[in-house]
Amino acid sequence: MKIAIVDDKPYYVEAFELVLEDAGHEVLPVCVKERFYADSLRRIAEFAPDLVLLDHDLGILGKTGQDVAEALSIPKERIIGTSSSPQAYCGRKFPAKALLKMSSARQALLEVIR
C-alpha cells in the first residue's frame, strides 16, 4: 500500500516511516514546513497515496490536516488522522477514517491502516 505521512515534526514522520516500511508499505515521508507547504502538497499529489497519515495540527500558517485534505481532495476514507490532542476533540474537528494518538504503539498503527 502507498502511504503518505504528513506531519510538522520530523521525529514522528521518521518513526511512522520505519514502522510502515518494515511492514512492507511504500512510504512518502513529508515533514511540512511553512516555506515548503506548496511543494509538500505537490509531492503528496504526485505520489497518489492509497492512505494518508495526516497530523491534525500542522503548526504552520494556521494550517491543519483538514486544510491539506481539502486542498488535495482526499476523501476521509483514505485519511488516518494523527494527533497528540484528545481523540474526542480531533473527531469533531477532523473527519478521518480513524484517529490515532501519537503515543500509540506500533501494533495499533498497523491495525488501524488495515
- pLDDT (tens digit, 9 = 90+) per residue, 78-110? 998 887 765 545 555 666 777 676 666 556 677
For residues 87 and 70, what is the distance between their CA atoms, to the nearest angstrom? 20
**pLDDT at residue 48, rounded to an integer:** 97
**pLDDT at residue 12, rounded to an integer:** 87
**pLDDT at residue 57, rounded to an integer:** 82
**pLDDT at residue 92, rounded to an integer:** 56
CATH 3.40.50.2300 fits 2-112, yes or no: yes
Residue carrying the nine cell digits 500558517 = 61
* pTM for this model (two decimals): 0.82
Is 76 a residue whose pLDDT tops 90? Answer: no
**pLDDT at residue 40, rounded to an integer:** 92
- The full length of the chain comes to 114
Q: What is the pLDDT of residues 21-70, one digit of tens each?
A: 999 999 999 998 877 888 999 999 999 999 999 988 887 777 888 888 88
**pLDDT at residue 87, rounded to an integer:** 55
For residues 76 and 52, what is the distance between their CA atoms, to the nearest angstrom? 10
Among 59, 63, 80, 70, which residue's Cα sits nearest to residue 10?
59
For residues 87 and 64, what is the distance between their CA atoms, to the nearest angstrom? 15
**pLDDT at residue 82, rounded to an integer:** 83
